[in-house]
C-alpha cells in the first residue's frame, strides 16, 4: 500500500474514467496522425526548407513543417494535461495511472482497442500487460 507522500502520480484513473476519455483521445490522435502523415509526405522538402532559413525565413515549406509540429505538440500537451501518458505516438499506446489493491499500476490502452482492458505494473510495461480480469 502506498502512502500519498510516496505516490508517483497526481491523478489516478478508474477503468470507467479511462474509458470515458477514449472518444476525446481518439479525436486527438486522429489529429496527431494526420499531421504526422503530412510531415512524412513533405519529408523530402524539410532539408530544403531549413537550408533557405538564412535567406528568406524558410518560406511555405518551413511554415507547414512548423505548423504541423505545433499541432502535434498541442495535442500531446492536451493528453498530458488529462493525466494520460503517451508511450508510443504512432501506435497510440497510452497509459492511465491507477491503483490496484493499493499499488500503483498503469491501465494500458492501444488506439485500435475498443476499451481499456489491460494493465501492467510500473516495471514491466507493455510486455507485461495483463487482462483486467487477472
- How many whole angstroms separate alpha carbon 70 and alpha carbon 74? 6
- For residue 78, the model assigns a pLDDT of 98
What pLDDT, in 10s, does the model give residues 56-85?
555 677 777 788 889 999 999 999 999 999
What pLDDT, in 10s, does the model give residues 16-43?
999 999 999 999 999 999 998 888 876 6
This prediction has a pTM of: 0.83
DSSP the chain: ---GGG-S-S----HHHHHHHHHHHHHHHHHHHHHHHHHHHTHHHHHHHHHTHHHHTTHHHHHHHHHHHHHHHHHHHHHHHTTPEEEETTTTEEEEEEEETTEEEEEEEETTSSS--EEE-TTTGGGG-EETT-
pLDDT tier, 7 (very low <50, low <70, confident <90, very high otherwise): confident
Asked whether the predicted pLDDT for residue 100 surpasses 90, the reply is yes
Amino acid at each position: 500500500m502506498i502512502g500519498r507522500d510516496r505516490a508517483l502520480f497526481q491523478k489516478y484513473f478508474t477503468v470507467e474514467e479511462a474509458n470515458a476519455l477514449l472518444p476525446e483521445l481518439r479525436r486527438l490522435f486522429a489529429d496527431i496522425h494526420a499531421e504526422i502523415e503530412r510531415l512524412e509526405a513533405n519529408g523530402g522538402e524539410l532539408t530544403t526548407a531549413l537550408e533557405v532559413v538564412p535567406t528568406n525565413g524558410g518560406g511555405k515549406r518551413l511554415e507547414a513543417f512548423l505548423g504541423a509540429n505545433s499541432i502535434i505538440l498541442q495535442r500531446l500537451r492536451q493528453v498530458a494535461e488529462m493525466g494520460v501518458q503517451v508511450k508510443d505516438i504512432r501506435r497510440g499506446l497510452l497509459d492511465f495511472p491507477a491503483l490496484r489493491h493499493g499499488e500503483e499500476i498503469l491501465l494500458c490502452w492501444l488506439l485500435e482497442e475498443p476499451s481499456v482492458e489491460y494493465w501492467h505494473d510500473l516495471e514491466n510495461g507493455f510486455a507485461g500487460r495483463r487482462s483486467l480480469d487477472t
